[in-house]
Amino acid sequence: MTSASSDRIHLELMSFEDVAAALAKGASTVLIPCGAVEQHGPHLPLCMDADHAEALAVTVARRLGDTLIAPTIKVGYSSHHLAFPGTISLRAETLGAIYLDYCTSLARHGFKRMLLFSGHIGNFPVLRDMLPRLKSVVPDGVEIEAFVDSIAWIDTWRAAVKAAGGDPAAVGGHADIAETSLMMRLRPDSVQRDRFERGYIGALTEQQLELMWKNGIKSVTRNGIIGDPNGSTVAIGDACLTAITDLLARSFGG
């Protein structure tokens, strides 16, 4: 068993000699998780997406094997949430520059495959748009892949919530039954269960999505929630974490 398949899979917790040894033993794949620091309704902390990305990185790395985890990019592209206090947003070009520096640094050390994903669906369009540029700056033989399928992500959550006994109609993609259940699983003390509120229910139309990106999430939901946190449970959180792990692992060939 290599060091990449043990508990020592976080680059920032390893020495340079540990990383060199892991590379020598075949751990040439690295996950680069990204999150966000943004509002998640009145009941969840701003760190939800970053916590989610960090948890997924561990489960996906173990599923893939011979895979290390780069430090999570905790702040993402969240301009549509800035009407809510505490939200921090990087510009798209700033996030792209951070990814570029991550990828060129890691390629220099001998990593041959870099897998990008985000616990914040709002980063998906930025990831998709930056991918050609990232691929163009790394040496030949270095692969960069990114998961950017928001429809598959939401559909996977709905199926997982239903399988765990919840209402799939409560999945909306933001501070809903899926994300609230995940935080009950990952950081239970942070969930304010007496503050649960129903948000916007139903699929957003193309027009509503355009308004949200242009004018912010308050244009579609007063309380910042898309979906409904009521009915959230730790069991649903477990199901969602496992289901998205499966989705990402399949996408990345695991």
- What is the tens place of the pLDDT at every residue in 12-26? 999 999 999 999 999
Output the CA–CA distances (angstroms, integers) from residue 122 to 3, 23, 91, 190, 251, in the order listed. 33, 32, 12, 22, 19
- Walk me through the domains of the chain, giving residue ranges and CATH numbers: 3-149+242-251 (3.40.50.10310), 151-240 (no CATH)
How many DSSP H helices and E strands does the chain contain? 8, 6
Rounded to two decimals, what is the model's pTM? 0.94
* Buried/exposed 146-181: b ≥16 CB within 10 Å, e otherwise: bbbeeeebbebbbebbeebebebebbbbbbbbbbbb
- Smallest CA-to-CA distance from 11 within 102, 112, 146 is with 102
Q: Strand 29-34 and strand 143-146: pairing?
A: unpaired
SS3 call for 69? strand
CA distance 87 to 222: 16
Segments in the chain below pLDDT 70: 1-7, 254
- What is the tens place of the pLDDT at every residue in 103-159? 999 999 999 999 999 999 999 999 999 999 999 999 999 999 999 999 999 999 999
CA distance 114 to 112: 7
CA distance 213 to 223: 17
